[in-house]
Amino acid sequence: MTTAAGPPAQTHARTHAQAQQGTDTAATTAAAVVCSLSCDGLDPSLAQRESFPVPTKDINGRRLRLHASDPDGMAWASVDDGQAGDSVWLDRSWDAGADWEPLLGRASVPSTWTGTRTLMYNLTDPSHHRRGWLRACADAGAVSCTEWIHPTVCDVLCDGTDADRASGDDQPVPATTLHGRVIRLHVDQRNSMAWGSVEDGDPDDEIWLDRSWDEGASRPDGSSLGRTAVPGGAATARTAMFATRDPRGLLYGGAVRACGREAAHQEGSCTAWVRPEPSRPRAAADALMASYDPDQGWWHSSWWNSAAALTALIDFAERTGTHDYDGAVARTFDRNKGVFAAGERSSDPVEGHFISRSIDDTAWWGMTWVAAYDYTHDPRYLTEATTIAEYLRRYWDTGSCGGGIWWDRERTYKNSVTAGLYLSLTASLHRRVADDTVWGARATEAGNWFLSSGLINSSGLVNDGLTGDCRNNGQTVWSYNQGLAIGGLTELWRGTGDTTALATARRLADSALARTELTVDGVLTESCDVGQRSCDDNQKQFKGVFMRNLDSLRLATGSAAYRRFAAEQADSVWAKDRDSLNRLGARWAGGGSNQTDWRTQSSALAALTAAR
């Protein structure tokens, strides 16, 4: 069994004249700048690591080398022992070597040197769901190139592994039939591998896999993988296994399908697309990352939602010990800590340090960087969270309702979400800032105010906010308001030992699990999840915030009831709110006009993580 492979290194090598003119009849793809963890054109002196993934190439005594840095996802080329005028460059292909972007970073050896190198170029383009191959080429009296990297995708196992090595054989979607042939997709869930088989076939019938990094929309480097014919005298055949995750390429949510061809009629058929599920939360996280833009460092079009999504991802990574997504944490911070005009990230301008006129939006980012600090122990994240909290403090106002923090810069509303975030952030800083006295006092003040503010109604549920004359406004009980109160009071107890805070957190949790305003038939349900209603982009993420904070209380108390509730949510999500690509919707009980996007995905990820 053979896999699809690119051309040999010299198959499309340029003639000397073509190289000088920068043309190639087989390589006409125009090169566009690709940005992932860094943008094309990074100096190799900044590489985090250097390896030589393919053999050095000798060209008339010159040494042509391809260098790679897996942590950067980039490569560069060099030529040594050369002469003035020798040149070196990279070729990059997005379709398994069928064509390529030529002459990337072309550099010539100066008159007083014997060698030179290119700048670094990205091996992958996860923003556009593309996996690249690169090779180094040189013109040194003749034109020649190294082998391509990386034609084989490797995760736990590599492309081309025999299916006998599978740790399991699941068939998550129905087989397809074609003139009596049965075409099946097989998945090794544990190792995120897949293979195809054909049964009841005739000689020369074929079976193969397609692999896509964008849920089946395209597959330029993943068609006809492992294409295998039924041998003479047999009725069955199968492919080798192929990986669906490419951690080196920052492509985690690959989808596969099995396809077959019936030889006599020259017709083909394919199964549905599938993403494997190595575990429930990892499958959810992989699907979430398919929507992340590493170039811009966020999930497009929602500012605070991106903070909540990253927090869910960090929580999953910390709980499971995975480091696959570490680059997303740093990239989000580096790309978004600056200034953005209105419309670029939020409808409001972002003024640096994740600060805007929306106090709650700003606070969500503060909580994200607390989570990032806990996960990485990098002090810059704690510093950023502290900067954000100092900004929030400006809007603590004892002249209205005896305290509390305003929702917006215009001081129009005191509400539960901003109060819960402020309490959580100050209490979190108290536990993490060395020798703190300031944040602990502010957290105690915020907690006491919350308990006496009237935000908690007589049923133990948190309404949306206060009226102008400082009374509970009776507006919708949202799960995230309930969750933030639970989490903030739990964190206050952890830092100060305030038993009233912990007791109230338990009362709020018990009320949420018992009352139909938030839980219906044992499943967490937002009011916008009911009937023909639909949740807006903000509301899609509320339940995940609740689950993350309930889990914090569960860890503090050891409550078996809270653990059971988390397990019930995860089971319902997985059984009733998931498709074959592990996309998770807004309605955890399923049914109705369900919605699915990265916001619902990150919300459900929090539930799956809490149930581990």
The answer to whether position 527 is within a domain reads yes
Please tell me whether residues 140 and 184 are part of one structural domain: no
Of the residues 226, 243, 270, the one at which a domain ends: 270
The answer to whether position 600 is within a domain reads yes
> Which pLDDT belongs to residue 466?
98
> Which pLDDT belongs to residue 27?
52
Phi, psi (5° rounding) for residue 260? -140, 160
Q: Distance between CA atoms of 108 and 488, rounded to whole angstroms? A: 60
Cα 568 versus chain centre, distance: 25
Helix (H, G, I), strand (E, B) or coil at 316: helix
Q: What is the CATH number of the domain that holds 219?
A: 2.60.40
The answer to whether position 346 is within a domain reads no
Please tell me whether residues 172 and 139 are part of one structural domain: no
Please tell me whether residues 204 and 241 are part of one structural domain: yes
What confidence tens digit (pLDDT) does each residue in 562-591 have?
Answer: 999 999 999 999 999 999 999 999 999 998
> Which pLDDT belongs to residue 203?
97
Beta-carbon count within 10 A of 530 CB: 11
Residues 254, 310, 602, CA angle at the centre, nearest 5°? 60
Cα 194 versus chain centre, distance: 21
Taking Cα atoms as reference points, which of 604, 597, 583 lies closest to residue 523? 604
Length of the chain: 612
Specify the long-range contacts of residues 62-68, CB closer than 8 Å, at least 24 apart.
62/86, 62/138, 62/140, 64/88, 64/136, 64/137, 64/138, 64/140, 64/144, 64/145, 64/146, 65/136, 65/146, 66/134, 66/135, 66/136, 66/146, 66/149, 67/117, 68/123, 68/149
The answer to whether position 307 is within a domain reads no
Please tell me whether residues 70 and 169 are part of one structural domain: no
Structure tokens at 105: 């970073």
The answer to whether position 512 is within a domain reads no
Please tell me whether residues 129 and 227 are part of one structural domain: no
> Which pLDDT belongs to residue 592?
79
Instruction: Please list, in sequence order, all residues whose beta carbon lies within 8 angstroms of the beta carbon of residue 377, skipping any fewer than 6 positions away.
Output: none
Q: Which residue in this structure is represented by tokens 């070597």? A: 97
The answer to whether position 323 is within a domain reads no
Please tell me whether residues 167 and 262 are part of one structural domain: yes
Structure tokens at 107: 């550099």
Please tell me whether residues 139 and 175 are part of one structural domain: no
Q: Distance between CA atoms of 303 and 368, rounded to whole angstroms? A: 12
Please tell me whether residues 57 and 140 are part of one structural domain: yes
> Which pLDDT belongs to residue 593?
81
| Sites in the chain below the pLDDT cut of 70 | 1-30
| Burial class for 25, CB neighbours closer than 10 Å (0-12, 13-18, 19+) | exposed
What confidence tens digit (pLDDT) does each residue in 234-260 have?
Answer: 999 999 999 999 999 999 999 999 999
- Domain span at residue 227? 163-270
Of the residues 233, 251, 270, the one at which a domain ends: 270
> Which pLDDT belongs to residue 21?
33
Please tell me whether residues 128 and 187 are part of one structural domain: no
Of the residues 241, 270, 299, the one at which a domain ends: 270
The answer to whether position 561 is within a domain reads yes
Please tell me whether residues 113 and 200 are part of one structural domain: no
The answer to whether position 192 is within a domain reads yes
* Number of domains the chain is built from: 3
Query: In what helix (H) or strand (E) does residue 311 lie, and over which residues does it extend?
Result: helix 303-320
Beta-carbon count within 10 A of 321 CB: 6
Structure tokens at 440: 């602990």
Please tell me whether residues 252 and 169 are part of one structural domain: yes
